[in-house]
Amino acid sequence: MKQKALFLDRDGIINIDHGYVCKQEGFEFSDGIFELVKHFSDAGYLIFVVTNQSGIGRGYYTEEDFVKLSSWMIRVFQDHGIEISQVYHCPHLPDAGCRCRKPAPGMIEDAAKAYDIDLSASWMIGDKQSDIDLAHNAGIGRSIVIGQGDIKNATFSFDSVAQCSKHLPSNV
């Protein structure tokens, strides 16, 4: 039986986007993120992070830095009773033309294949048009944009992660 999933952007959703965050010291979790993700986790959704990380391609930090920070982030979610199934990232520059950089659907396609995901029953939460376009391009059923007002093709729009956590439909 296919599984449903929640796909989360990292910078701007899981954490405050301070620009090219690559160390724990600069990583500040968004208010309400644990409550929001727990809501989906408790409803039986697999949890994934899908993030563009061009800072790797630009040489601002290494793949090892990214993996180390991601491992720590996963442990913090585990401390809140939330299992992150996997973190997918694109290390390429915006003009690379790769299949993984959002809004291209490569990261979602990889997760769907590896975890047998029903994308039409899944959600994407992001803070940019490229996140919502990713959801649309990959066939994800519903999407939420946070902090950007109404963005084309988003199912729901909230001002903050905390607001989304408080007002999320109960039937996710």
Neighbour order of strands in the sheet with 123-126: 86-90, 46-52, 5-8, 123-126, 142-146, 156-158
The first and second tokens of residue 115, run together, are 């975890």
66: Cβ contacts below 8 Å, ≥ 6 apart: 22, 53, 56, 89, 91
Q: How far apart are CA 81 and CA 84, in angstroms?
A: 10
Return the active site residues: 9, 11
Q: How far apart are CA 155 and CA 152, in angstroms?
A: 9
What letter does residue 3 receive in the DSSP assignment?
B
